Chains A and B, each alone.
Chain A
Amino acid sequence: DAMVIQNPRYQVTQFGKPVTLSCSQTLNHNVMYWYQQKSSQAPKLLFHYYDKDFNNEADTPDNFQSRRPNTSFCFLDIRSPGLGDAAMYLCATSGGSTSGRANEQFFGPGTRLTVL
């Protein structure tokens, strides 16, 4: 089945130690998004790629970076994680003509990041 895959599901890192979260998709979608969801809060968009064009949200900290080497993969790099960066990180995709819902966003299961 076509899907959005996030690995690992759980990631533990140390305060200040760089960490990379990965997302891959088999949907061949143009757009890939990264959302941050803290406990008991709604998801909040960090940035997205439309093809190779990177779009950063105005209030996304510089500590968060992203890479999209090809259509299928997108990475979230946290350069120096702080305790406040502990959250669920959700990857999503949109675009194409899957099931006639071209602008629906398909979410992965998320990676829960713990910062020690």
Chain B
Amino acid sequence: DAKTTQPPSMDCAEGRAANLPCNHSTISGNEYVYWYRQIHSQGPQYIIHGLKNNETNEMASLIITEDRKSSTLILPHATLRDTAVYYCIVRVDNAGNMLTFGGGTRLMVKP
């Protein structure tokens, strides 16, 4: 699986959009971009994933650049409960494939 690079930490004001970047310059054509988050003392939680088109669900939006070398996870209206470590992972989209977690970004949402 390709490696990813994320800033170690970010702050965001409550109610504002949180934009979390991820670089994955060595991504292969069949690898998807996945985002998970881990709230303190809980297991990781799936957020969203995509291949090349932008994706949106009830939790977030995922913007993938045209060359697929980077992406941005957008939490449109961050709340205090969104404080967590956010992991960007690239992987082939098969059921048996593991997740290789990198360092992640620790997002702190402040009042």
Contact = CB atoms under 8 A, between A and B. Distances in A.
Interface of B: 36, 38, 41-46, 49, 87, 93-104
A103 B98 CA distance: 10
A110 B94 CA distance: 24
Interface residues of A, number: 26
Given A42-B103, A105-B46, A108-B43, A50 B96 contact: yes
Given A43-B44, A44-B101, A104-B46, 16 more contacts: A4-B43, A33-B98, A43-B99, A45-B98, A48-B96, A50-B95, A55-B96, A92-B44, A94-B96, A104-B49, A105-B46, A106-B46, A107-B44, A107-B45, A109-B43, A110-B43
Contacts of B103: 42
A109 B45 CA distance: 10
Contacts, number: 57
Interface string A84-116: 000000101011000001111111111000000
Given A42-B103, A45-B100, A30 B95 contact: yes
A106 B44 CA distance: 8
Nearest to B45: A107
Contacts of B36: 105
